[in-house]
A and B are shown apart, each in its own frame.
Chain A
Amino acid sequence: MTLDVFAPWEDPTEKPLIQFKGVTKRYGSFTAIDNLTQDIYAREFFALLGPSGCGKTTMMRMLAGFETPTEGQILIAGQDMAAVPPNERAVNMMFQSYALFPHLSIWDNIAFGLRRMKMPKAQIEERVEDMLRLTRMTQFSRRKPHQVSGGQRQRVALARSLARAPKLLLLDEPLGALDKKLREETQFELMDIQEKTGTTFVIVTHDQEEAMTVASRVAVMDHGKIIQVSTPPKIYEEPNSVYVADFIGDVNIIEGAAHKTSDDGYDIKWAEGQEPIHAKTTAVLNEGQKAFVALRPEKISIAEEKPEGAVNAVKGKIIDIGYLGNISTYHVELPGGVMVKAQATNTRRLSRRNFSWEDEVWLSWTLTAASVLER
Chain B
Amino acid sequence: MMRRLFLISVPYLWLLALFLIPFVIVLKIALSDTALSIPPYTPQIDISAGWEGLKGFFAALDMENFVWLTEDDLYWKAYVSSLKIATISTLLALLVGYPIAYGMAQAPQEWRATLMMLIILPFWTSFLIRVYAWMGILSQEGLLNQLLMGLGLISDPLIILNTNTAVYIGIVYTYLPFMILPIYSALEKLDASLLEAAEDLGCSRFKAFWLVTIPLSKGGIIAGSFLVFIPAIGEFVIPSLLGGSSTLMIGKVLWEEFFSNRDWPVAAAVAVVLLLILIIPIILFQRNEQKQREAE
Contact = CB atoms under 8 A, between A and B. Distances in A.
B194 A99 contact: yes
A112 B196 contact: no
* Number of chain A interface residues as a range: 20 to 34
Interface string B154-173: 00000000000000000000
Contacts of A83: none
Contacts, number: 57
Interface string B161-205: 000000000000000000000000000000101101111111110
A95 interface: yes
Majority SS of interface residues in chain A? loop
B272 interface: no
Nearest to B296: A146
A87 interface: yes
A116 B215 contact: no
B212 A97 contact: no
A101 interface: yes
Nearest to B200: A93
Nearest to B193: A99
B216 interface: yes
Interface string B45-77: 000000000000000000000000000000000
A102 B201 CA distance: 16
Contacts of B191: 97, 99
A95 B215 CA distance: 21
B200 A101 contact: no
B216 A160 contact: no
Contacts of A160: 201
Interface string A108-129: 0000110011000000000000
Interface residues of B, number: 19
Contacts of A102: 216, 295
B196 A66 contact: yes
B197 A164 contact: no
Query: Which of the listed residues B197, B203, B204, B216 has the most CB atoms from chain A within 10 Å of its own CB?
Result: B197
B201 A103 contact: no
A113 B202 contact: yes
Contact of A92 (B200, B211, B218, B295): B200
B193 A113 contact: no
Query: Which of the listed residues B198, B215, B218 has the most CB atoms from chain A within 10 Å of its own CB?
Result: B198
A113 B215 CA distance: 17
B216 A103 contact: yes
Contacts of B295: 102, 146
Contacts of B198: 101, 112
A106 interface: no
A160 B194 CA distance: 13
A101 B202 contact: no
Contacts of B196: 64, 66, 86, 93, 95, 99
Contacts of A87: 199-204
Query: Which of the listed residues A103, A146, A164 has the most CB atoms from chain B within 10 Å of its own CB?
Result: A103
Interface in A63-108: 64, 66, 85-87, 91-93, 95-97, 99-103
Given A87-B201, A97-B191, A99-B197, 17 more contacts: A64-B200, A66-B199, A86-B199, A86-B200, A87-B199, A87-B200, A93-B196, A97-B193, A101-B197, A101-B212, A103-B218, A112-B198, A112-B211, A116-B201, A116-B207, A161-B200, A161-B201
Interface of B: 191, 193-194, 196-204, 207, 211-212, 215-216, 218, 295
